[in-house]
Amino acid sequence: MKILISADMEGATGVTWPADVLPGTPQWERCRALFTSDVNAAALGFFDGGADEVLINEAHWSMRNLLLERLDERVEMLTGRHKSLSMVEGVQHGDVDGIAFVGYHTGAGTEGVLAHTYLANSITGVWLNGTRASEGLLNAHVVAEYGVPVVLVTGDDLTCADAEGYAPGAHKVAVKDHVSRYAAVCRTPSRTAADIRAAAKEAAGLAGRHDPVRGGPFTVELEFDAEHLTMAATVVPGTERTGERRVAYTSETMYDGIRTFKAVTTIVSSAVEEQYG
């Protein structure tokens, strides 16, 4: 049994503030250890539950945050940028039996600690076929096309509630309770590690590839915080303006859908100016 862990940072233990997750800050250096603790706890739990292999895919910012030297020696870690499936890279090779979303968070424009979708602030909402979409929901559709079930989700309490929508059968662990976008009631890393390890052990029992799910066509709509970003986004073929600050596109598969999403967010982020956005 092989488990893939997609590891994002905003939903990690103790993390509530932008500097906690921005590479290069002193607080990020401290929070890397908390993030690593969550991910390692999940890996240990999956091994407890019978996994033979655990591959960790770094999914936050520059994708170079976890402390490899503090991880269990049985894991392997994919670190660094430029991967065709981004946050769920590694799921496409036909050998993954289950995936865990560790350290995930809620979507742009919704309640939740450090809520956003891909870009920290410029995207104010994402909808998939008319439903509000978090990164978890988008990635759940990608992995479903490879027949891989989401077996575990960790993050704040609202992230767990969001995951009930896209992975109702998965085990969930809330490592903190949302108070505001930048505040949470946090539990200690020793406690959350125990909770995550126990849940991952149970979640291993949910692993097992199923037939690929073709849920398309997928219409993805994005809303930005400034009008010029709409103009920037619509240079991507297939996108069209659907409002003053909105664009949409339709893809037959989520594989294509997530790649177009990446193209749009890359171009939009290059059009964001300091202060004015």
Task: Note the residues at the interface with Zn ion (CB under 5 A).
Answer: 8, 135
| 3-class SS string, 211-269 | CCCCCCCEEEEEEECCHHHHHHHCCCCCCEEEECCEEEEEECCHHHHHHHHHHHHHHHH
Q: Which of 221, 216, 223 is nearest to 256 (CA)?
A: 216
Residue 10 C-beta: closest distance to Zn ion, Å: 6
**CB closer to Zn ion, 44 vs 170:** 170
Q: Which of 86, 135, 129 is nearest to 112 (CA)?
A: 135
**CB closer to Zn ion, 58 vs 221:** 58
Q: What is the CA radius of gyration of the chain?
A: 18
- In angstroms, the first-to-last Cα distance of the chain is 45
Residue 142 contacts residue 85 (beta carbons within 8 Å): yes
**CB closer to Zn ion, 8 vs 89:** 8
Q: Position of tokens 């590891």?
A: 7
Residue 99 structure tokens? 């995936």
Residue nearest Zn ion (C-beta atom): 8
Residue 37 C-beta: closest distance to Zn ion, Å: 18
Residue 116 C-beta: closest distance to Zn ion, Å: 7
**CB closer to Zn ion, 135 vs 157:** 135
**CB closer to Zn ion, 192 vs 265:** 265
Q: 245: how many CB neighbours lie within 10 A of its CB?
A: 18
Residue 42 C-beta: closest distance to Zn ion, Å: 16
**CB closer to Zn ion, 58 vs 135:** 135
91 SS3 class = helix
Residue 135 C-beta: closest distance to Zn ion, Å: 5
Residue 201 C-beta: closest distance to Zn ion, Å: 25
